[in-house]
Amino acid sequence: MESWLDILLKWFRENKRRFSWREYRDWYRVLVAEVMLIRTRSETVEKIYRGFLEKFPKPEDLCNASIEEIENFFKRIGLVNRARKLREAICLVISKYGGELPCLYEELLKLPGVGRYVARVLLTKVCRKPVPFVDGNIARFARRFLGVNNMSIEDVELWLEKAVPTEILESVNIALLDFSAIICKAKNPRCDSCPLRTLCSYGAGLKP
């Protein structure tokens, strides 16, 4: 019998969303994307991401830019207050860490605008130290799938750490981002066509 991980990764191979930032692993482009993505839809960020990197191709370009120039990009997607923190974080990596991302969780959390989720993405993608990065969508999927309503983000991270082998953790995590956005949606989850339905506590409780 196929495991839920096998089923999820098969679904992901056939249905993955393609966003510009997914191909990158350098700290600058990953950090820019993840700060833009905080509580913001991926499709919205996609509207400005490539243009932003064309305007500011290197960390130094962003650090030396005026705040107005940066804000002009963020304004287009209604996130103007992120501009200042992003520039501060980029400048700090250059001035304090010599342009290399500090690959320690506690150090990453000290960067302006970088919280738990973004720090964990950076650890996984840039530092190649895979850890689960769980947003509200993935947490919702986990609660439904396991049938445990009161799981916190930290609980879900611990569950994934134990349930997923390290070598596939990053792929599984990105698959879960897509799966929870497309299938296990907040409103009207697509349980009828869900490949995980027979293994899911919530799905198993639904009438056929």
Question: Which residues sit at the interface with ligand SF4, rule CB under 6 A?
Answer: 141, 144-145, 183-184, 189-191, 194, 196-197, 200, 202-203
Residue 39: CA count within 13 A, CB half-sphere? 6
The residue (of 112 and 203) whose beta carbon lies closer to ligand SF4 is 203
CA 38 to chain centre: 8
* Structural element, H or E, at residue 146: helix 136-146
CB of 163 to ligand SF4, least distance (A): 15
10 vs 50, which CB is nearer to ligand SF4?
Answer: 10
What are the tokens at 100? Answer: 């290399």
Long-range contacts of the stretch 48-57 (C-beta < 8 A, 24+): 48/73, 48/74, 48/76, 48/77, 49/19, 49/20, 49/21, 50/20, 53/29
Q: Using CA atoms, how far apart are residues 84 and 67, in angstroms rounded to an integer?
A: 7
Judged by beta carbon, residue 78 or residue 205, the one nearer ligand SF4 is 205
Provide the minimum distance between the beta carbon of 192 and ligand SF4 in the complex, in angstroms, as a whole number.
8
What DSSP line would sit under 27-70, residue for residue?
HHHHHHHHHHHTTS-HHHHHHHHHHHHHHS-SHHHHHHS-HHHH
Q: Which is nearer to ligand SF4, 66 or 193 (CB)?
A: 193
Smallest distance from ligand SF4 to CB 152, Å: 19
Q: Which is nearer to ligand SF4, 23 or 192 (CB)?
A: 192
In the complex, minimum distance from the CB of residue 143 to ligand SF4, in angstroms, rounded to a whole number: 9
Residue of minimal CB distance from ligand SF4? Answer: 203
Distance in Å, CB of 132 to ligand SF4, minimum? 17
